[in-house]
Chain A
């Protein structure tokens, strides 16, 4: 498979996923889009392995590795901070008795907003990865020009 065919397939699958997302919402079944998303990821993974005109060498592997590692390093801190806050809200962490005014009960995040927060974190992860990838690609001479 050629690189351009893979990109076309990627676009087609993305459109199908958007349509399935809409349909899942219509029939109120989230399982459909969940299964479809996993299947789409599997298909794209297999198709990616069939691409013949895409040369990946140790330098590009190193760029990917470094970007992924840095993304993970930053993301786990953000994720951990958010998780600690969420756990505090759920567990009703007691305040010290010295505090005179009664503390109002903590507001527990509704389950619906958790989905949006997760999406936000996912977007953050994607932005971090793209940013780090650009940084390391520059560092390892991806866009260097030569006199040749």
Chain B
């Protein structure tokens, strides 16, 4: 699943909220960080999980930490160690 964290749960994000707070369109944000508008749309809709590089670019654009925008649901992510 493209917009998933690997355990089946989608990675959530608050890009739309931050865009609204900064009065930015998807096109504006896309141009600012050097991607297409479709990529921003796909990330917002949870269809695509960005790379760390792109995630940092987005968060630095809004001047916040990565956890404030990207919400990683680690509740079901468990590793069995013998």
What residues of chain A have their CB less than 8 Å away from a CB belonging to chain B? 55, 57-60, 62, 139-142, 144, 146, 148
- CB-nearest residue of chain B to A57: B35
Tell me, in angstroms, the Cα distance from A62 to B2 when the chains sit together. 10
Q: Is B51 an interface residue (CB 8 A)?
A: yes
Q: Are B36 and A141 in contact (CB under 8 A)?
A: no
Return A21 CB to nearest CB of chain B, in Å.
36
Contact across chains for B26 and A55 when beta carbons are under 8 A apart:
no
Q: Quick one: given A139-B2, A141-B42, A141-B45, are A58 and B50 in contact (CB under 8 Å)?
A: yes
**Contact residues of B with A, CB < 8 Å?**
2, 25-26, 34-36, 38-39, 41-42, 44-45, 47-48, 50-51, 53-54
Of B2, B26, B35, B51, the residue contacting A146 (CB under 8 A) is: B26
7 tightest Cβ-Cβ pairs between the two chains A and B: A141-B42, A141-B47, A57-B35, A59-B39, A140-B48, A55-B36, A57-B39
A147: shortest Cβ distance to chain B, in Å? 10
B46 CB to closest chain A CB (Å) equals 9
Q: Which of B36, B44, B45, B53 contacts A59 (CB 8 A)?
A: B36
- Of the candidates A57, A60, A148, the one whose C-beta lies within 8 Å of that of B34 is A57
A141 to B54: give the CA distance in the assembly, Å. 17
Given A141-B48, A144-B41, A146-B41, check contact A59 B35 (CB 8 Å).
Answer: yes
Contact status A60-B25, CB under 8 Å? no
Q: Which residues of A contact B2 (CB under 8 A)?
A: 139-141
A59 to B41, CA, bound (A): 11
A144 touches B35 (CB 8 A): no
> Chain B residues near A62 (CB, 8 Å)?
48
**Across-interface contacts of B35 in A (CB, < 8 A):** 55, 57-59
The reply to whether B38 and A142 form a contact with Cβ atoms under 8 Å apart is: yes
Q: How far is the CA of A142 from the CA of B44 in the complex (A)?
A: 13
